[in-house]
């Protein structure tokens, strides 16, 4: 079995289901998560019952000390944007707003006036806020999709228990109806992370503001998206390492972490000319 790096950066998401994270925990010393306003709370909530204490295995990539972020304010803004977005849940509402652009803009200004305030903001502040809103919304979506999938599995297990144990018993003529979670699964759970390109875009915006130096010797990534892997294979020279696990593949790319993530170079990210990538296909 190929020796894995001791430290892996989860990219581009900041949420990983317990079923996936327990596959990686025994193999590495640390998994690095980008720390957003709710990341640590989510991790504490979903990893608290794991056999391995999460604080022993997870560390965080944060912003440089000189970058000041009001996380409470950002969380409130994300909640308001999410609430506003719920206006577009139905085709009727979408049709209405598409016909009356001014009404759409007014509705956004009414619930989130700072969008249209002529405030003096630096390019840095604008880039960071834009990226963090995208990533916080993505984190919320990932967590909710996980909760839905978990509930569907519980419902299916209960269904099987009722029909197989209490109603049909040993009746071999019984034919099970359609998988009760299949319609939703086909709609909600695709291989690709929702809005993958927007997440990558957000990372490019904030990359130069992150405190990479606090994570000495970080040169390797943990990904779950095959599209990312295939894109990097086309751009960079790579070697596929032998790794005896059907759910994991490990690659060495002949490019620095800075080049892989398309983040402006600095001395820390140029520390290694190679980047290891663990692809988790579970």
More confident residue, 176 or 245: 245
pLDDT at 169 over 60: no
Confidence tier at 32 by pLDDT (50, 70, 90): very high
Task: Compute φ and ψ for 265, nearest 5 degrees.
Answer: -70, 145
Task: Report pLDDT for 185.
Answer: 54
Query: pTM here?
Result: 0.85
Please tell me the distance from the alpha carbon of residue 23 to that of residue 105, in angstroms, as a whole number.
Answer: 46
Task: Report pLDDT for 164.
Answer: 65
More confident residue, 215 or 99: 215
More confident residue, 164 or 208: 208
More confident residue, 180 or 33: 33
Confidence tier at 140 by pLDDT (50, 70, 90): very high
Task: Report pLDDT for 154.
Answer: 79
Closest to 137 (Cα-Cα) out of 74, 88, 187, 61: 74
270 with 256: CB under 8 angstroms? yes
Mean pLDDT of 173-193: 56
For residue 182, what are the β-bridge partners? Answer: none
Confidence tier at 104 by pLDDT (50, 70, 90): low
More confident residue, 110 or 223: 223
Mean pLDDT of 202-219: 90
pLDDT at 45 over 80: yes
More confident residue, 180 or 20: 20
Mean pLDDT of 213-218: 85
Give just the sign of the alpha carbon dihedral 218, 211, 48, 152.
negative
pLDDT at 227 over 80: yes
């Amino acid at each position: 079995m190929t020796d894995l790096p001791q430290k892996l950066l989860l990219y581009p998401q900041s949420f990983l289901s317990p079923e996936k994270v327990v596959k990686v925990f025994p193999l590495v010393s640390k998994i690095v998560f980008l720390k957003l306003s709710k990341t640590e709370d989510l991790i504490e909530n979903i990893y608290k019952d794991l056999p391995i204490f999460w604080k022993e295995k997870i560390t965080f990539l944060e912003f440089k000390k000189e970058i000041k972020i009001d996380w409470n304010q950002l969380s409130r803004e994300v909640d308001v944007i999410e609430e506003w977005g719920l206006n577009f849940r139905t085709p009727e509402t979408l049709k209405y707003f598409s016909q009356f652009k001014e009404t759409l803009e007014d509705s956004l200004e009414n619930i989130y006036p700072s969008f249209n305030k002529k405030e003096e903001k630096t390019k840095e502040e604008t880039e960071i806020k834009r990226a963090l809103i995208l990533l916080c919304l993505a984190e919320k979506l990932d967590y909710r999709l996980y909760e839905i999938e978990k509930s569907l599995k519980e419902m299916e297990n209960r269904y099987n228990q009722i029909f197989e144990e209490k109603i049909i018993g040993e009746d071999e003529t019984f034919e099970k109806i359609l998988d009760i979670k299949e319609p939703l699964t086909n709609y909600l759970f695709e291989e690709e992370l929702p809005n993958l390109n927007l997440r990558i875009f957000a990372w490019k915006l904030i990359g130069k503001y992150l405190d990479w130096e606090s994570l000495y010797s970080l040169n390797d990534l943990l990904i779950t998206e095959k599209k990312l892997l295939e894109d990097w294979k086309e751009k960079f020279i790579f070697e596929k390492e032998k790794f005896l696990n059907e759910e994991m593949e490990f690659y060495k790319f002949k490019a620095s972490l800075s080049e892989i993530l398309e983040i402006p170079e600095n001395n820390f990210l140029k520390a290694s000319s190679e980047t290891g990538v663990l692809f988790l296909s579970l």
